Amino acid sequence: MLFGKLIDSWEDADIYQLQSDIISSFLDKETQQSVETSVEFARYLHFRELNDKNYPMFLQLLLHKNDGVIDALIADGAPLEAFIKLQRNKKLVRAVFEMLKRLSINSYPKALEALFGVLYRNYRQPIKGWELFEPTIENLNYVGKYLNKNKPQSDKINRIILDILGDIGELSSQEPEDKEIDRIGAHANKIRNAYFDNRGQMDKVIPENLRI
């Protein structure tokens, strides 16, 4: 009873910060106990289902280095649709770009599919996606770094990245003074074309130090 009254007196931001700190404390450890705890927590979140309040915790778990944690989180086998129940929102799209910056090109494909699914849905209608969140050149580079020229375009990760870049590449300005949207659309196409160009190298479009 006392605990309930105490919780009721907290701000939502304080509660989320406490939850975030607890999650971070066991995500940062590689002990058997911390991995088992992460897996059980991921199962719990999967059971509760994704919503606008708990999705930041979903995102944090996707950073876990243990594949079993992500398998427990996305247990239905449809990573591209992991966030489909959420309304599109600017914070989510920004968070996905930040996570793609942090993750390595060797990250667990299921985690990457879930993240790219958010971008795919947001930019499927390029102008509406742009109005929600305007990606930067750097954002596009952190998407393109996951393209693997040694794999066919039918590869799951390659396919969804190429689709995202293709959609963003359709962006063009309606006003003469709006040059940024043209620049972003052109860069998306440049990354996409670099993948298909057998003579070209990705590091001529995306800085080599990003492709780690």
CA angle 50, 117, 106 (to 5 degrees): 105
- 201 pLDDT tier (thresholds 50, 70, 90): confident
State mean pLDDT over 141-161: 96
Q: What is the pLDDT of residues 37-50, one digit of tens each?
A: 788 888 888 888 78
The Cα 193–Cα 198 span in angstroms is: 10
The predicted pLDDT at position 50 comes to 85
Provide the 10 A C-beta neighbour count for residue 209: 8
Q: What is the pLDDT of residues 47-71, one digit of tens each?
A: 887 888 888 888 888 888 788 889 9
Q: Percent of the chain beyond pLDDT 70?
A: 84
State mean pLDDT over 73-100: 91
Whole-structure pTM value? 0.85
Q: Name the residue with higher pLDDT: 168 or 62.
A: 168
The predicted pLDDT at position 14 comes to 59
CB 56 within 8 A of CB 91: no
Residue 16 above 60 pLDDT?
no
Helix %, strand %, coil % of the chain (to 5): 65, 0, 35
Residue 207 above 70 pLDDT?
yes
The Cα 161–Cα 153 span in angstroms is: 9
- Say if residue 91 is exposed, middle or buried (CB neighbours under 10 Å; 0-12, 13-18, 19+): exposed
| Tokens representing residue 156 in the block | 């799951």
The alpha carbon torsion through 32, 36, 39, 44 (nearest 10 deg) reads: -160
Residue 5 above 50 pLDDT?
no
Q: What is the 8-class DSSP label of residue 81?
A: G
